């Protein structure tokens, strides 16, 4: 297949592009590098031994996007491009609705124009809001609690309405639980800009000595050790879930929803302990106030994906932490700035098809 991947230079996108290339698919990437570096794709290409076609384009640029679809004529799209910082979405909601919702509308128009109607969308367990009925199953009523979450919820609804209106569409809403880990080569991984919002990258930066200690948000939750419990899932398992969904969509029209999680929860203290054990470093922490909007516990029922996609997560917490640590040690400051990329401006323009 020829798969167009939006946001393919980002964390989950780059791992998925690598698997698509390894499986022999042709891949075109559209990314504006607002939260990533083309260096990730240079490394993906070298790991795969073949190249994805990379285009530096913003989904908000409808004209350029339409042209790329006309030029590439993809069979299917995996749509990762989006902004994902919950706190920022509260202070700048319109930026989130514009980028995530309008960006998706532009994408759907560009797809229709070339008769491409197979789409895998990056949704999130955030659409379950503060639901307390565990484990979370796809039929749990949706209830997002912040603008980021509502962009995901609105897009899911929009895609369901689209598929209901026209049976030529095949759509997957994949609800990720907490993606962590990195490729086993240690060459690609998550490269958060500024202070990480999420637990695992924060703990990794404490272990490497970039930050002093982990602030544990709440020690009095009704969980075994009092700290928050989440369903961490290895990014390689998550990437494999996208390939399984694509395969399913080739034979099934309509809109489908699958949880991608392991079904098992780990507490904040368990994550910190695993990191200390794997890295051999001290990981100092301090229990502070709860973070507003956090739930005590959240983990997936991933049976639907197992039964329908034949997919299940294979990696446990120890492996997630080992891979994350290898990536963090080898790349203590992430991919580095674009000018450390080792290419002249002219070479970069050619690489990015500018």
Question: Strand locations in 19-101, DSSP E?
Answer: 26-31, 53-56, 76-79
Please give the residue whose beta carbon sits closest to ligand NAD in the complex: 10
Question: Counting every residue, how long is the chain?
Answer: 354
Is residue 206 helix, strand or coil? helix
Among 74-82, 130-138, 157-165, 286-294, the segment contacting ligand UD1 (CB under 6 A): 286-294
Asked if residues 159 and 121 have their Cβ atoms less than 8 Å apart, the reply is: yes
Is residue 56 helix, strand or coil? strand
Among 58-66, 208-216, 221-229, 329-337, the segment contacting ligand NAD (CB under 6 A): 58-66
Return the DSSP state at 303.
H
228 binds ligand UD1 per the rule CB under 6 A = yes
Q: Strand pairing partners for 232?
A: 178
Binding residue (CB under 6 A) for ligand NAD from 45, 104, 118, 124: 124
Query: Residue 31 binds which one of ligand UD1, ligand NAD, none, with CB within 5 to 8 A depending on kind?
Result: ligand NAD
Give the strand order in the sheet containing 26-31.
53-56, 26-31, 2-6, 76-79, 118-124, 170-176, 254-260
Binding residue (CB under 6 A) for ligand UD1 from 294, 318, 347, 349: 294
Binding mask 287-326 for ligand NAD (x = CB under 6 A): ----------------------------------------
Six-digit token string for 88: 């920022």
Binding residue (CB under 6 A) for ligand UD1 from 149, 181, 189, 219: 149
d(CA 17, CA 239): 8
Query: Residue 86 binds which one of ligand UD1, ligand NAD, none, with CB within 5 to 8 A depending on kind?
Result: ligand UD1
62 binds ligand UD1 per the rule CB under 6 A = no
Is residue 102 helix, strand or coil? helix
To the nearest whole angstrom, how small is the minimum distance from the Cβ of residue 240 to ligand NAD? Answer: 15
Set 148, 176, 221, 285: catalytic member? 148
Asked if residues 146 and 86 have their Cβ atoms less than 8 Å apart, the reply is: yes
Binding mask 168-197 for ligand NAD (x = CB under 6 A): --------x--x------------------
103 binds ligand NAD per the rule CB under 6 A = yes
Q: Is 148 among the catalytic positions? A: yes
To the nearest whole angstrom, how small is the minimum distance from the Cβ of residue 10 to ligand NAD? Answer: 2
Q: Which of 98, 12, 54 is nearest to 347 (CA)?
A: 54
Question: Strand locations in 235-322, DSSP E?
Answer: 254-260, 266-267, 285-288
# of chain residues touching ligand NAD (CB under 6 A): 27
Q: Which of 19, 27, 16 is nearest to 53 (CA)?
A: 27
Six-digit token string for 305: 């994906």
d(CA 217, CA 51): 42
89 binds ligand NAD per the rule CB under 6 A = no
Asked if residues 299 and 230 have their Cβ atoms less than 8 Å apart, the reply is: yes
197 binds ligand UD1 per the rule CB under 6 A = yes
To the nearest whole angstrom, how small is the minimum distance from the Cβ of residue 272 to ligand NAD? Answer: 18
202 binds ligand UD1 per the rule CB under 6 A = yes
- In the block, which residue shows the tokens 């969904």? 245
Q: Which of 181, 175, 160 is nearest to 305 (CA)?
A: 175
Asked if residues 235 and 15 have their Cβ atoms less than 8 Å apart, the reply is: yes
80 binds ligand NAD per the rule CB under 6 A = yes
149 binds ligand NAD per the rule CB under 6 A = no
Binding residue (CB under 6 A) for ligand UD1 from 84, 142, 256, 326: 84
Residues that bind ligand UD1 (CB under 6 A): 84, 86, 124, 126, 149, 178, 197-199, 202, 214-217, 228, 230, 268, 291, 293-294
Residues that bind ligand NAD (CB under 6 A): 7, 9-13, 30-36, 58-60, 80-84, 99, 103, 122, 124, 176, 179
- Mind telling me the catalytic residues? 148
């Amino acid at each position: 297949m020829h798969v167009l991947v939006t946001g393919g230079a980002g964390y989950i996108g780059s791992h998925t592009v690598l698997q698509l290339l390894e499986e022999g698919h042709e891949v075109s990437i559209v990314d504006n590098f607002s939260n990533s570096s083309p260096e990730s794709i240079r490394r993906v290409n070298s790991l795969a031994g073949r190249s994805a076609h990379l285009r530096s384009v913003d989904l908000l640029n409808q004209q350029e996007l339409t042209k790329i679809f006309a030029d590439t004529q993809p069979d299917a799209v995996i749509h990762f491009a989006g902004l994902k910082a919950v706190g920022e979405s509260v202070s700048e909601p319109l930026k989130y609705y514009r980028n995530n919702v309008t960006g998706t509308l532009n994408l759907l128009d560009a797809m229709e124009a070339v008769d491409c109607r197979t789409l895998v969308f990056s949704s999130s367990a955030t659409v379950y809001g503060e639901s307390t009925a565990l484990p979370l199953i796809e039929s749990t009523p949706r209830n997002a609690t912040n603008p980021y979450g509502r962009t995901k919820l609105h897009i899911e609804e929009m895609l369901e309405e689209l598929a209901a209106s026209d049976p030529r569409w095949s759509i997957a809403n994949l609800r990720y639980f907490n993606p962590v880990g990195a490729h086993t080569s240690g060459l690609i991984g998550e490269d958060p800009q500024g202070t990480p919002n999420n637990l695992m990258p924060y703990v990794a930066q404490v272990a490497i000595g970039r930050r002093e200690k982990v602030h544990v948000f709440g020690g009095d939750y009704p969980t075994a050790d009092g700290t928050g419990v989440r369903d961490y899932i290895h990014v390689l398992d998550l990437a494999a879930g996208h390939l399984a969904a694509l395969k399913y969509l080739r034979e099934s029209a309509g809109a489908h929803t699958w949880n991608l999680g392991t079904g098992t929860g780990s507490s904040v203290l368990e994550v910190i302990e695993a990191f200390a054990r794997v890295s051999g470093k001290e990981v100092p922490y301090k229990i502070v106030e709860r973070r507003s909007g956090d739930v005590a516990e959240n983990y997936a029922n991933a049976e639907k994906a197992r039964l329908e996609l034949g997919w299940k997560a294979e990696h446990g917490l120890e492996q997630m932490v080992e891979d994350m640590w290898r990536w963090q040690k080898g790349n203590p400051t992430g991919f580095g700035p674009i000018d450390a990329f080792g290419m002249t401006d002219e070479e970069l323009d050619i690489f990015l098809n500018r």
